[in-house]
Amino acid sequence: MSASDTEERIIAIICDHFLSGGKEKLTVSSVSERAGISRQAFHKSYLHLKPFVTGQRTVDDLLLRQGSNPFKVILQMQNLVRNLQSELEEVRSGQSAKFEDFERNIVTSLMSSDILTHRAKELTAELRKKALHVELLKRELTEKEVELTLATAGSQSSAPPALAKNIMVQVFKPDMTAALADFSSSKDKQAYLAHKEKAIAAMQLRVLKVLRQGTIRVVIFQERFLCSLDTFVERNFSKNSASVVVINLPLYSRLEIRDFTRALKGATPLEIYVPHCDSDAVINAQRGFQFGQIPDFEFKAVGREPLPTIQDGYDKVTVFRVEQGD
């Protein structure tokens, strides 16, 4: 077989493969094998046909050179196009189904996540309301106990200059539930401070109601968000032999505290206990564990003010050290 015949056979192989719509790619090795020559012979004599084999050039020129029947070529091309369109539709359909399935899974996951998040928020809000309600009930119970004690003491003594001994340790704390609840949702500092001012004023009125019964020892516990009020009372007054009023006071400046204490007629003696801690690590631990609901600006306000002194008009000033866990 002459070189020209071999070249024509190679061209025919390339054209037939193209018109057949075969999915497998032609290679120099496969064309050489079908033409009955070696790869070395192909590269030596027919290298100019390699771009048609690899697809770098279209076979249009080869079809014209081969003198193929144009109608036959058109029919084969149309058939090839239809087959490709059919395959493309199958691919699109499969991809569309996969995408829809993926989209459903994503939407379902997102919806489930949103539902869980919403439920968690609702549960958190409900628990916060319950906690605030319990705190409010505890405050009301304490007030009722104080009123009952005062009524009992009044019926047992004609006109005492002071309250009878061993009545109880009466603890007064401003009801900050409304302030904290409002701030947790609105983050409005001014509204919080307004609520706080009203709560302290209401507490002061309750204290004055007790003091009108006669003179009594009053202890102010300056709230600096370092230790538990309950722990403080338990440690210092659980074995108290005389009546005492303990006031939890979340005021920090000397002017504010002085304005509050001036109204406490009948507070004799008037004492203030101040928790103190030198360790920032302990301060942060105590505040993070026990006072997580308190706004940060309250902590900053505490840090700016100096500790009270005896010159501020108290009969006794006690600064006590706070350890972690107090």
Is the confidence at residue 24, as pLDDT, over 90? no
Weakest-pLDDT range from 73-77, 97-101, 247-251, 264-268: 73-77
Residue 176 tokens, joined: 């900050």
Predicted local distance difference test score (pLDDT) of residue 67 = 63
- Cα distance between residue 224 and residue 113, in whole Å: 40
Phi, psi angles (nearest 5°) of residue 141: -65, -40
pLDDT value of position 295: 93
Residue 218 pLDDT = 93
Whole-angstrom distance, CA of residue 136 vs CA of residue 138: 5
Say what the pLDDT of residue 174 is: 93
How big is the chain by its Cα radius of gyration, in Å?
A: 46
Helix (H) or strand (E) holding 279: none
- pLDDT at position 56: 83
Cis check: omega of the bond before 269, within 30 degrees of 0: yes
Contact assessment for residue 253 and residue 315, using Cβ atoms and an 8 Å cutoff: no
Q: What is the pLDDT of residue 249?
A: 94
State how far the alpha carbon of 75 is from the alpha carbons of 69, 70, 101, in Å. Answer: 10, 9, 39
**Cα–Cα distance for residue pair 123/139, rounded to 1 Å:** 24
pLDDT single digits (tens) 289-319: 889 899 999 999 998 888 898 888 899 999 9
d(CA 62, CA 80): 18
- CATH of 157-321 given 2.60.40, 3.30.450, 1.20.120, 3.40.50: 3.40.50
Task: Report the pLDDT value the prediction gives residue 192, as an integer from 0 to 100.
Answer: 92
Confidence at residue 163, expressed as pLDDT on a 0 to 100 scale: 38
Place of tokens 């090795």: 29
Residue 241 CB partners (closer than 8 Å, separation 6+): 165, 166
pLDDT at 164 over 80: no
The mean pLDDT of 232-254, rounded to a whole number, is: 87
- Once rounded to an integer, what is the mean pLDDT over residues 98-124? 75
The predicted structure's pLDDT at residue 89:
79
Instruction: For residue range 200-209, list pLDDT tens digits in order.
Output: 999 999 999 8
Neighbours of 221 (CB within 10 A): 23
CA distance readout (Å), 231 to 219, 292, 323, 325 = 15, 18, 12, 10
For residue 68, what pLDDT is reported?
57
